[in-house]
Amino acid sequence: MDMLFITVNIAVLLAIIGLLVYMQKKHVSFSKRVFTGMGLGIVLGVVLQAIYGNGSEILTATTEWYTIVGSGYVRLLMVIVVPLVMVSIIRAIINLEKTKDLGKMAGWIIGILISTAMVAALVGIGSSLLFDLNAEQIEAGQAENERAESLEARFADMENQTTPQRILNFIPNNIFLDMTGDRPTSTIAVVLFSIIVGIAVLGVRRKNPEQADLFIKIVNSLYAVVMRIVTLILRLTPFGVLALMTNMVASTNFAGIIELGKFVLASYVALIAMFIIHLILVGVFGLNPMTYLKKVIPVLGFAFTSRSSAGTIPLNIQSQRQALGVNEGVANMSASFGATMGQNGCAGIYPAMLAVMIAPTVGIDPLSPGFLLQLVLIIGISSFGVAGVGGGATFAAIIVLSSMGLPVGLAGLLISVEALIDMGRTALNVNGSMVSGAITSRVLGNLDHQTFNDKNAETEKIAI
């Protein structure tokens, strides 16, 4: 009997996928298909949990089948990240007129990412104080205590690693190993190696132009093939969003959300406030915030459902280039760096809120100017050295809390709402990287304003 219900659930998902395929054949816009998939995923997830109950065997088995579509799509995106980043950055650098432009590009991107992470910390602090959050108000059950013990054990493995040592991990020592994604900092290592290769090609072009031309032709050919692969994979976005959203809603612990509703509300108030600050920054640098918003919504929608900054890199790059008119090199670098440093949600808002919540439990006044200044500075530094790893928000929180002399185990109290909040954090992280790309391209004078202002140059055009 259970297998019959599971089969029916699978058939329902396939029917909805069929609807999305029909919409694609009717040339319904990419963004509308993405949000249709998201909306139907929410409805299906609610219905499944209402019928079978959270944690039931049928629901668990159903979500495992749905994972083939959702997590399978994310895996396809992840597999293209390294070749996309490597070939695109090499190609972008060999097209630079001056190598000094590379330094300006990297400086602006990193500067924006780190500075906005520090602003995000202030926003997180403000939201915690506004809602009067305190870790003592949260009751710890078995799951929370187990999570706390896990965090304490993880901190024991990390406490001897200094910030310079974490930054040193960015530098590649075996590029083939990093191309497999073996290390948490593999993406940055691939970026640095690609930059070195690109600079080397520029040097060869000055001394042996014929050899350089051959290499450039190979890179351009690889680039064309990789971009075609990206296009094929991105066509699957509505299906991936559908399955991911269904699984998330179907497995959500709504009782935990109600219990920790105050923290969830405070978190999303902070995330929305920081998102508004991003839009203000876009306007300050002479770009229309509403035009920007309309073009990035599909990317943020996928980031929200997938909870993967790294998995969003291909869609992030394509959207910046083809919808916002951002320079190719800037788009690749901002998307890659933004997935591994300066994450406004995971490395900015989240650890700041936890620190303010936990401080009173150990007799520290969270309103003390010394405490606040130290917290913001530590977040700025740690956001450069810890973001981008698996469980990046947890990793960042451990580093910040331990640096402030606060108990890291109390972060485990929020496990029941972690997934829900992480969705918003990831969307903010990705938006931060796109904002850094748009602003940097604008400042360097290589933004295609015609593309940015063209209503027809939207993300949906990528996947046709």
pLDDT of residue 428: 94
Q: Where are the domains of the chain?
A: 2-463
pLDDT of residue 267: 92
Report the predicted TM-score, pTM, of the whole model to 2 decimal places.
Answer: 0.81
Q: What is the mean pLDDT of the chain?
A: 83
pLDDT of residue 309: 82
Taking each helix axis as running N to C, give the angle between helix 209-234 and helix 57-94, from 0 to 180 degrees, rounded to the nearest 10.
160
pLDDT of residue 389: 44
Q: Report which of residues 120 and 188 the model is more confident about.
A: 120
Nearest to 349 by CA among 432, 412, 270, 281: 270
434 contacts: CB under 8 Å, gap ≥ 6 = 296, 299, 316, 319, 320, 324, 334, 335, 338
Does the pLDDT at position 107 exceed 50?
yes
Does the pLDDT at position 204 exceed 70?
yes
Contact 325, 456 (CB under 8 A): no
pLDDT of residue 14: 93
Give, for 135, the enclosing helix (H) or strand (E): none
203 contacts: CB under 8 Å, gap ≥ 6 = none
Q: Report which of residues 403 and 185 the model is more confident about.
A: 403
pLDDT of residue 160: 56
Q: Report which of residues 287 and 333 the model is more confident about.
A: 287
Does the pLDDT at position 104 exceed 60?
yes
For residue 97, name the pLDDT band (cuts at 50, 70, 90): low
For residue 138, name the pLDDT band (cuts at 50, 70, 90): low
For residue 144, name the pLDDT band (cuts at 50, 70, 90): very low
2-463: which CATH number, 3.40.50.150, 3.10.20.600, 1.10.3860.10, 3.40.50.300? Answer: 1.10.3860.10
Lowest mean pLDDT among 246-250, 403-407, 457-461: 457-461
The token pair at 344 is 């406004």
* Cα–Cα distance, 448 to 231 (Å, whole number): 21
Give, for 90, the enclosing helix (H) or strand (E): helix 57-94
Lowest mean pLDDT among 178-187, 227-236, 295-304, 367-376: 178-187
pLDDT of residue 2: 77
Buried b (16+ CB within 10 A) or exposed e, 186-213: bbbbbbbbbbebbbebbebbeeeeeebe
**How many Å separate Cα 355 from the centre of its chain?**
22
pLDDT of residue 433: 94
Lowest mean pLDDT among 45-54, 326-335, 358-367, 453-462: 453-462
For residue 112, name the pLDDT band (cuts at 50, 70, 90): very high
pLDDT of residue 412: 59
Which stretches within 386-413 are classed as H helix?
A: 392-403
Which stretches within 285-367 are classed as H helix?
A: 289-306, 313-322, 328-338, 350-358
pLDDT of residue 464: 42
* Cα–Cα distance, 49 to 258 (Å, whole number): 16
Interval 352-374: pLDDT, tens: 998 998 888 888 888 899 899 99
pLDDT of residue 409: 64
Does the pLDDT at position 148 exceed 60?
no
Q: Is the dihedral of CA 216, 218, 224, 229 positive or negative?
A: negative
Contact 41, 244 (CB under 8 A): yes
Q: Report which of residues 416 and 313 the model is more confident about.
A: 313
Lowest mean pLDDT among 134-148, 290-304, 386-400, 437-451: 134-148
Nearest to 154 by CA among 177, 184, 120: 184
Q: Measured between alpha carbons, how far apart are the two ends of the chain, in Å?
A: 42
Interval 255-278: pLDDT, tens: 656 667 788 899 999 999 999 999
The pLDDT of 407-421, averaged and rounded, is: 68
* Cα–Cα distance, 402 to 386 (Å, whole number): 13
Does the pLDDT at position 150 exceed 60?
no
Which amino acid would we find at residue 324?
A: L
pLDDT of residue 311: 81
pLDDT of residue 98: 63
